Amino acid sequence: MEICGILAEYNPFHNGHKYQIDMLRKAGITHIVAFMSGNFVQRGDIAITDKFTRAKYAVQNGVDLVIEMPTLYTVASAHFYARAAYSLMEGLGCLDSVSFGCETSDMEILNKAASFSEEINESTEIKEKMSEGMSYPAAMESLADDDISVAFSSPNNILTVEYIRQINERNLPYHIYPLKRLGPEHDSDDIVGNIASASHIRELMRKGEEYSDFVPYDSIPFENIDFKVLETITFYKLRTMKLSELALLPETSPELASRFYNAIRESSSLDEFLVKVKTKRFPQARIRRTIYSAILGLNKADYLYDPPYIRVLALNQRGAEVLKKAKTTTRLPISTSVADLMSRGGICERFVNMECNVTDVYNILKGNKMYKSDMSAKIEIMETDDEF
């Protein structure tokens, strides 16, 4: 029995994800656990379809157990996102290995880049570069030696470096399976064989165009975001927040809070607001994550905590075997029921309330007439494909 962890968004699950799972099976992995973003994702976007549907499709296509990443961390930078994920992995206590897709799969380069990132993270050099208007990834790439600068050149590589940092800092004894990404680059509209980027697939879905060649299923149910509702909620929330309240949003600097405060009062549309706030230092993905933090009621103080529980979104029989083993290894409560987790009080209750609020906002933005509440979600053990 070898249990491998994957950090994923599956937005949506596509052939590139299927390839990763198939490669892990060929390497001898018997059980795969995905730690998946919920209804809001790390790219600064709202998920194309709800977390329960995405988790179900993942299990139907090779994943054995899907565990939810708390939204507080999925609308965060790569460092906090990775920190929370590996806290959950460590908390589960029974993983043998981890795998991630990246543009650079050379472990020597990735390990050197992780060490460099740790050394320079709070350095004067980084702060000077950012004061000149550079984003954090761009500053890292500019300061890195030529042999490792490639590790900071793409979103997936940046995440990979943060994953390795977490593994090293926590001294986790995981075997690492880095997998070089197939097909087009992140966010590219190019197509290579039956592989397309998730962003291209999402665009096809939004336009109602055919995308089945790029996913291991015929289609997945989804509803487009009601942009006018998002705009209305955003303007209401940001215009009623004081500057001091904006400064308490996760990862918000005084400069960014000030830009938000002024731009929301000078803009007549969300597009105009995004243009006014955006700089090289504050790219749109970060701005969108900050917007979502505001409308979801997230706070800097919540980052003092690691995820306080393990919540199951979907599983099959092999996933149930992982949970059985985890009963003897975990240091966190595990449940499919948020009511059960909420009953524990304290920080568990706080995080459950956050997720319930997130789901309510998500349903409003998607125009769902019948709200799918986290409190009423029912999780069933799905059938296992015996070929593995």
* Percent of the chain whose pLDDT exceeds 90: 68
Q: What confidence tens digit (pLDDT) does each residue in 298-331 have?
A: 999 998 899 999 999 999 999 999 999 999 999 9
Q: 214 and 78 in one domain? A: yes
369 and 242 together in one domain = no
198/340 same-domain check: yes
Residue 375 lies in a domain: yes
CA torsion angle 195 196 201 203 (round to 10): -160
* Confidence at 188, pLDDT banded by 50, 70, 90: low
Please tell me whether residues 201 and 81 are part of one structural domain: yes
| Residue 180: pLDDT over 90 | no
> DSSP code of 313?
E
Using DSSP's 3-state secondary structure scheme, residue 138 falls into helix
> For residue range 65-124, what is the model confidence (pLDDT) as tens digits?
999 999 999 999 888 999 999 999 999 999 999 999 888 878 888 889 889 888 887 788
User: Given 302, 317, 333, which residue is the final one in a domain?
Assistant: 302
313 and 232 within one domain = no
- The pLDDT-based confidence of 187 (bands split at 50, 70, 90) is low
Measure the CA–CA gap between 249 and 266, rounded to whole angstroms: 21
pLDDT given for residue 77 in this prediction: 87
Q: Which residue has the tokens 């096809």?
A: 204
* Number of domains, the chain: 2
Answer whether residue 114 is part of any domain. no
Single-letter amino acid code for the residue at 110? L
Is the pLDDT at 151 greater than 90, yes or no?
no
| Residue 154 DSSP symbol | S
12: preceding bond cis by omega (within 30 degrees): yes
The β-bridge relationship of strands 45-46 and 40-41 is: antiparallel
**Position 254 in a domain:** yes
Which residues form the domain of 38?
A: 3-103+154-223+306-382
Asked if residue 85 lies in contact with residue 7, where contact means CB atoms within 8 angstroms, the answer is yes
Same domain assignment for residues 354 and 243: no
Terminal CA-to-CA distance of the chain, rounded, Å?
12
Q: List pLDDT tens digits, range 243-266.
A: 999 999 998 999 999 999 999 999
Would 133 be classed as within a structural domain? no
Per-residue pLDDT for 370 more than 70?
no
183 vs 113, residue with greater confidence: 113
Bridge partners of residue 235, in order along the sequence: none
